[in-house]
């Protein structure tokens, strides 16, 4: 069973900042939090990974509070091409994907 919980779906508009929150109450000391993006008919693609505080790359930012029981993926100024499913994963020997969050960007 997936160890993380995230919203099933979200809608937003082009140009907006989108924040997707993930809950991982039972995160272990050694676990990292990783986010993937999946477009239809393609395999998932790595977006960002973090352990605590804030990580930023050219695509997104990841915020992890001190207790590490949740994390927030932030996508700045989304476009229509960001419509996809986003998965939050808690690192373990078994890398388990949940159902993900279906993000729909509207014009």
Partner 1 sequence: NAGVTQTPKFQVLKTGQSMTLQCAQDMNHEYMSWYRQDPGMGLRLIHYSVGAGITDQGEVPNGYNVSRSTTEDFPLRLLSAAPSQTSVYFCASSYAQRENEQFFGPGTRLTVL
CA–CA dist 52, 106 (Å, integer): 32
Longest dimension (CA), the chain: 41
Identify the DSSP state of 5: B
Kindly write out the interface string for residues 40-79 of this chain, putting x where it contacts partner 1 by CB under 8 A and - elsewhere.
Answer: -xxxxxx--x-x----------------------------
Which among 90, 102, 89 is positioned nearest to 39, based on CA atoms? 102
Count of chain residues binding partner 1 (CB under 8 A): 27
Instruction: For residue 5, state whether it binds partner 1 (rule: CB under 8 A).
Output: no
Q: Which residues bind partner 1 (CB under 8 A)?
A: 1-2, 30-32, 34, 36, 41-46, 49, 51, 85, 87, 91-100
């Amino acid at each position: 069973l997936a160890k993380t919980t995230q919203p099933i779906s979200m809608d937003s508009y082009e140009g907006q900042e989108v924040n997707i929150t993930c809950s991982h109450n039972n995160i272990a000391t050694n676990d990292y939090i990783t986010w993937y993006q999946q477009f239809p008919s393609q395999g998932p693609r790595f977006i960002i990974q973090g352990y605590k505080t804030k990580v930023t790359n050219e695509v997104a930012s990841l915020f992890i509070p001190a207790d590490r029981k949740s994390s927030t993926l932030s996508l700045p100024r989304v476009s229509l091409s960001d419509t996809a499913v986003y998965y939050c994963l808690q690192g373990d020997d078994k890398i388990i994907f949940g159902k993900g969050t279906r993000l729909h960007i509207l014009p």
